[in-house]
Amino acid sequence: MVRELVLREVVSHSSEQTLAIGEWLGREMPSGTLLALDGDLGAGKTTLTRGIGQGLGGYPVSSPSFTLHDLHEGGRLPLSHCDAWMEGREVAFLRDGGSEWLAGEGICVVEWAERVREWLPCPRLWVRLLHRTPQTRRLEFRVLGPDGAPEGLTQVLVRLLERLPESGESP
């Protein structure tokens, strides 16, 4: 049974702040983290991932909407970046081997995760980004368990969220 373990909320007041939150995550997330991103177009999923790429080692993250998947290597951990937006292609991509990226070493970020929810293994870190004003976003953080992963990844992710910088602070 899948359980929602933690909810943290952070308000980002600028794209720079979302980048900084991502950078913190990129420095802190353990290998094996699957990060599912959710939220409307322009909510900041790619911006957050760009920050994660910075935190992991200066990866040049761009939107993978048309390639579906980008792999970055050479930093602290590899970053696998998927975009599940493309109508009719996302499930075929996962079925034809793309799902290997979801459980690999390093960090895997999936944009539009809601569209492929049934393909995503647990545990996973899940961030929903919501528009508040043109420059403000609410980021809702959850961990979905239970902990079936090696070395208690769920517990590690829960502790990670406890240390997540609070809203308004510079992470």
Least distance CB 154 / Mg ion (angstroms):
26
Instruction: Name residue, tokens 């997330």.
Output: 29
We find the least distance from the C-beta atom of residue 1 to ligand ADP, in angstroms, to be 30
**Does the N-terminal peptide bond of residue 165 adopt cis geometry, omega within 30 degrees of 0?**
no
Pick one of 12, 33, 54, 154: the residue that binds ligand ADP (CB under 6 A).
12
Nearest to 168 by CA among 138, 143, 130: 138
Measured from the CB of residue 83, what is the shortest distance to ligand ADP in angstroms? Answer: 8
Q: HEC string of 51-78?
A: HHHHHHHCCCCCCCCCCCEEEECCCCCC
Shortest Å distance, C-beta 163 to Mg ion: 26
Q: Which does 14 bind (CB under 5 to 8 A by kind): ligand ADP, Mg ion, none?
A: ligand ADP
Q: Which is nearer to ligand ADP, 17 or 33 (CB)?
A: 17
Number of neighbouring beta carbons within 10 Å of residue 170: 8
Q: Taking Cα atoms as reference points, which of 52, 16, 14, 17 lies closest to residue 166? A: 17
3-class secondary structure, 91: helix
* Site for ligand ADP contains 44 (CB under 6 A): yes
The interface with ligand ADP within residues 14-33 (CB under 6 A) comprises 14-15, 17-18
For 155: left if phi > 0, alpha if psi spans -120 to 50, otherwise beta; the answer is alpha
Taking residues 89 to 108 in sequence order and writing x for each that binds ligand ADP by CB under 6 A, - otherwise, the string is --------------------
Interface ranges with ligand ADP (CB under 6 A): 12, 14-15, 17-18, 39, 41-47, 63, 111, 135-137
